[in-house]
Amino acid sequence: MARLRRLVGAVYLRWRRSIQVRVVTSTLCISAIVVAILGMFLTQQMSNALLDGKIKAARLQLDEGLSTVQRQLGNQPDNGSRLDNVMAGLKARSGPSGLYEVYIRDTRDSSFDGYSTNELRVESIPQRLRDELRRSPADTTAYTFGKLSYVGRPSERGLIVGGKAGQFELYYLFPLTQDQRTLTVVSQALVGVGVVLVLLLAAIASLVTRQVVIPVRLAAQGAQRLADGRLEERMRVRGEDDLAALARSFNEMAANLQDKIVELEDLSQVQRQFVSDVSHELRTPLTTIRIAADMLYENRDTFDDPMVGRSAELLQSQLERFESLLADLLEISRHDAGAATLDAESLDMRDLVLRVVGDIQNLAERKGSKVLLQLPGEPCMAEVDRRRVERILRNLLVNAVEHGEGEDIVVSVGADRDAVAVAVRDHGVGLKPGEGQMVFDRFWRADPARARTTGGTGLGLSISREDAQLHGGWLQAWGEPGAGSQFRLSLPRVAGAELRGSPLPLVPPGAGGRPVFAELEAGE
């Protein structure tokens, strides 16, 4: 049974994946149905033609026999020897092979069953045929089909025709065995021809389909190799037909795509290099400015003009933000260049959450928010890069504090056999429809008129997303206008393993709206 299921599954898979198999199978089925219908129609027509010819010949034979009986017997008194002579003469005309049997009956003698030839049983004459002749006027003939019974040999199907000649009823009984054999031979020949015809049609369909499918299949294979990064892939062009035009169009598309990809790669490389070079080059003058700014900031109370002291404080804060921006630019350029590496170690996610919450506790108090923790009682161990995960959690918490409108912030930690997750829930402004697609974009702000009170650079969520993907995890968001938002970080317990699910829900319990954003699985 299992082998049969595997066989059916393999056939079904082959059916789904191969146009040629579907076309050949469809042609085979349709042609088989058409040939079967035509075969049945032809067999029926031949059968009717044979029977019609048989009936006409039988009636002609019957008319001749009735004439003989009328001429030789007429209405004279019964004479057994004369009747025997008539029967012998009628039977002799059937030939030595016995094309028919003859039965004659005198209607005036109800006690006598009549005369028949070759041990023919009287019950071979159906009673309904006798009754029909009895009710019919003179010179009437009738026929029917029935079973011919003999003494000493098997019965057989036959045609029975009868008529009246004065006081006598004459019946001819024609066996149909030979006709049935003829129909059987013809039917077998039609079946054989039909099978051969169906197979030929299937072979023709397979040949024609193969001429079309093979170039399409080669194009699909070329497209797959092109998608795998083999930009030099090209199709062979043969002839000048439509398939050759398809090959040429594919090659032109591949060449243009290769040129564009190379151009974009060069442009992206220039862009990454520019960001990296600018970030590095700015560090030297920034270091000098930092030294001078620190000196001014430390002596701000000694200046006679209060505005100078205030300027020193502003210079210090903006330099700190500038340094953070440079650090984020360097980090994002590493991700863009594919140079970011993972320094994974086995850690308890609860400890990382407690540490980050402790770091931003003062900021939350200044904003009037309280951070509530929902931690499991058991360790949530996972192989993670401490620095990157702490940066993700810090970005999520700072973002929740900035947009939480002073409401409580809930941090939940969960784990299952394959993954760990941290969810940060705020009850602030939330996300409007359409904003969810941009929440992880670089330098994106929900409200451009709103100031960054926490000094963010606009790259935090973008870097967090890259860090999550580097672990093989997800960073996803849910939001609802006026009901707050929730960001969920899901990481595999083993760094780089495939993540199939998250132990925490994306939509927080009790939230009635639909998620306006769910971004995004690693690698997308």
Written as one letter, the residue type at 401 is V
Helix axes 242-298, 306-337, angle to 10 degrees: 150
| Chain position carrying tokens 């780089």 | 496
3-state SS class at 42: helix
Secondary structure of 361-415 in HEC code, one letter for each residue:
HHHHHHHCCCEEEECCCCCCEEEECHHHHHHHHHHHHHHHHHHCCCCCEEEEEEE
Burial degree of 400 (CB within 10 A; 0-12, 13-18, 19+): buried
C-beta of residue 147 within 8 angstroms of C-beta of residue 157 = yes
Rg (CA), the chain: 50
User: How many whole angstroms separate alpha carbon 54 and alpha carbon 147?
Assistant: 16
Sequential pLDDT tens for the chain (524 residues): 778 888 877 777 777 767 777 788 888 888 889 888 988 898 888 888 888 888 898 888 888 888 887 777 765 555 556 666 776 667 655 544 457 888 887 777 655 555 666 677 778 888 888 888 888 777 778 888 888 888 777 888 888 898 887 777 888 888 888 888 888 888 888 888 888 988 888 888 888 877 777 777 777 777 777 777 777 777 777 777 676 777 788 788 888 887 887 887 777 777 667 766 766 677 677 777 777 777 777 777 777 777 877 787 777 777 777 777 767 667 766 666 666 777 888 999 999 999 999 888 888 888 888 899 999 989 999 999 888 899 899 889 988 888 888 888 999 999 998 999 999 999 888 887 766 667 777 766 655 545 445 445 677 788 888 888 888 898 888 888 888 888 999 999 988 788 888 999 988 887 654 444 443 333 33
pTM given for the model? 0.48
Q: What is the pairing mode between strands 409-415 and 371-374?
A: parallel
User: How many whole angstroms separate alpha carbon 517 and alpha carbon 476?
Assistant: 8
501 Rama class: left (phi>0) / alpha (psi -120 to 50) / beta: beta
What the block records as the tokens of 229 is 């990064």
User: How many whole angstroms separate alpha carbon 387 and alpha carbon 425?
Assistant: 22
Determine the number of helices (DSSP H) and then strands (DSSP E) in the chain.
Answer: 11, 12
H/E run at residue 420: strand 419-426
Q: What is the pairing mode between strands 141-148 and 419-426?
A: unpaired
H/E run at residue 424: strand 419-426
Dump the DSSP string for 61-116.
Answer: HHHHHHHHHHHHTTTPPP-HHHHHHHHHHHHHTTTTTT--EEEEEETT-TT---EE
User: How many whole angstroms separate alpha carbon 115 and alpha carbon 419?
Assistant: 102
Long-range CB pairs of 193-202, under 8 A, 24+ apart, other chains included? 194/32, 194/35, 194/36, 194/38, 194/39, 197/31, 197/35, 198/28, 198/31, 198/32, 198/35, 201/27, 201/28, 201/31, 202/24, 202/27, 202/28, 202/31
